[in-house]
Each structure stands twice: as structure tokens, then as C-alpha cells.
Amino acid sequence: MSCSNLTMWVSSKPSLSDSSSPLSFRSLISNPLQLPTNNSTTTNPSSSRSSSSVVHCGLRELRDRIGSVKNTQKITEAMKLVAAAKVRRAQEAVVNSRPFSETLVEVLYNINEQLQTEDIDVPLTKVRPVKKVALVVVTGDRGLCGGFNNSIIKKAESRIAELKGLGLDYTVISVGKKGNSYFIRRPFIPVDKYLEGSSLPTAKEAQAIADDVFSLFVSEEVDKVELLYTKFVSLVKSDPVIHTLLPLSPKGEICDINGNCVDAAEDEFFRLTTKEGKLTVERDVVRTQTSDFSPILQFEQDPAQILDALLPLYLNSQILRALQESLASELAARMSAMSNATDNARELKKNLSRVYNRERQAKITGEILEIVAGANSLA
């Protein structure tokens, strides 16, 4: 017996005063030997529409469906807790890497100040007319995370449309299995390389991406490299953003496509706690303490050599931070999606239990009426 329209059956609640209902009290009194059927006719149009959408399922089918929903609820709840634990570690990875990035920015800034009066050509900071743009699109490796992957892919599609409108060529470097499968199915989008992510971003993985974009930019195959990833805002919000990866800012700042500095001054921790038996979110602001850069510090090497060595290192740190932010956003989106799925499963289980109890009570009532009618006929 099919239960495909069971939700429609749940939404239509027959009352005892409705004589058109197959389980109505009046119909059972007027004809106690008549069993509830699906073919009862009525003159009320609204009641006929309601009864036509009713699909009766057997008790066994309802029990199986309730058991299936219970198992699904357990799975989604477990996935939510796992994602919540991983989000914490992902945030810690972002914050722990911040002192290194902050100190590196300070070094780059001071070296750049010393080079202001010298005519030195630094390839990674050279701004040239843009003819071709490389887009590094960072997506997730797994699904069940709401619209996380869809939002960053839509952002990439929008940026590609803008570049086409400006008459610029482009190429894509896809990072993540979801993005790879998306671009593979669209051969008309030029893709330079497909890279797979990992469950925990590492400097080695970021270095592989940095080497690829470095070679493209230095060889002048592309004139600009943009990084598209999902920035972690909170446990319930994440924003797909576009940052200019190359040419690098001489002062070591992270800039968007318009040249505005978007580097965060502080980080926030979001952790799950229990309050009055319910899960709640607490927020802590973390400010990274970095030592001041000494103005009298002297370099043994030529500042241009130091800059050539530090800029690729900072490029690697930018990519690693983007991968970590994207992972934290993915885990937060999965936690939110699994939380919603758990709530929906709980609500569906409650509705199915109500339907099951009503069906069981109707069956018992029908059997009692048959016994009473048989006894009256023999009397």
C-alpha cells in the first residue's frame, strides 16, 4: 500500500461533526455495519477535495515509516554534533595561524618602507594591464551542507559573466570535489587545473595552489589572480567573497577586487554550550597579540631579496587562511543543515505518530461497532 501522499493525509484532519468524513461519528451511527472506505461521496465541494487527497496507509506501513524517521533523526543529530566539534577546531586553526600572518605583514610593511626610494622590480607586486584573469574557486568536498557549495559556485558564475562583459579572458583553478564535478560537466568553462581538498587544510596543500598561481602570474599567462572562497562570519552565516590574490599588496594587506583592505582585525570564537537543557551559542572575541617591529632593525641581506622570499610565503599564508575559512564555513553550514533536518524529522515523527494513533483507534472503533451490530442482530 502506497504512502506517498501521507503528508496530505496528515494535513486533512476529519472532525466528528463532518458527515462526509469516512470516519465520522454520524456515518457510523446511521449505518453501523458500514466500514470506512475511500469511495464515500459527498455534496460538499470542499469536503470532497479534502477526502480525495486522503490516502490511508496500513498500520504496518506507518510503523515502518516512523522507525525510518527515527533512524534518520539519529543520523542527522550525530552529524550535527560531529560538525559542531569540527567547527571549533577549524576556528582554532584560523586563529592560531594569525600571529604568523600578522608578523609577516609587519615585516613586509617595513621592508616596503625602506624600498620606497629605490627602483626595484618585484614580480608579485607588479600591476600591469589586465587581459586575462585566473579565478581560484574553493568549494567543499562533501554535500549535506545546505547551500554552501551552491552559493560559491553562483558567485563564480557571476564573476565569470562580469569578466565576459568586460571583454576579458579568464581561466579557473578549481579546489574541492564539488567544484571539480561542477566544472567537469561544463566543458565550455576553461579550467587550468583541478585540485582536491582535504579534511584539514595544510601548508602543503596551500603551497600546491600557490605554486600554480605563481607560475601563471610570473610567466604573464594571466595578469590578475582572484580568490573566491566562503568567509566564515558566524555559525549561522557565511559570505562568499572575492579577494585579489595577485598582484600582492606591497604592504601585505588582503584586498578585494576594488583594492579595499578587507583583512580582519580580530577573530571570533563560536562555541556550543548547554543552557537549561538546550544547545546555545556563545561568542568570544579573540585579539591576536603580536610583538612590535623594531624600527632600528637592520637586514644583512638586500631588502629586495628578502621581499622576494617573503612574498611567496605570504601568498601561501593567504591561501591557507582561505582554505581554513572555507572549511569552517562548510562545517557551520553542515551543522545548521543537520540541525534543521533533525527538527524536521522530529516534527514528522510527531505527525506520523498522531496519524498512527488515529488509524489504530479508528480500526478498534470499527471492530467494536461490528461486534455491537452483530449482537443487536442476534437479539
Residues recognised as catalytic: 145
Cell of 107: 615585516
Contact 97, 327 (CB under 8 A): no
Buried/exposed 109-135: b ≥16 CB within 10 Å, e otherwise: ebbbeebeeeeeeeebbeeeeeebbbb
Q: Which residue has the cell 602543503?
A: 204
Phi, psi of 174 (to 5 degrees): -95, 130
- Please name every residue paired with 298 in a beta bridge, in sequence order, or none if there are none: none
Q: Which residue has the cell 469536503?
A: 47
What DSSP assignment string belongs to 110-143?
HHHHHTTTS----GGG-----SEEEEEEE--S--
Cα 269 from Cα 92, distance rounded (Å): 8
Contact 312, 124 (CB under 8 A): yes
Cell of 149: 557549495
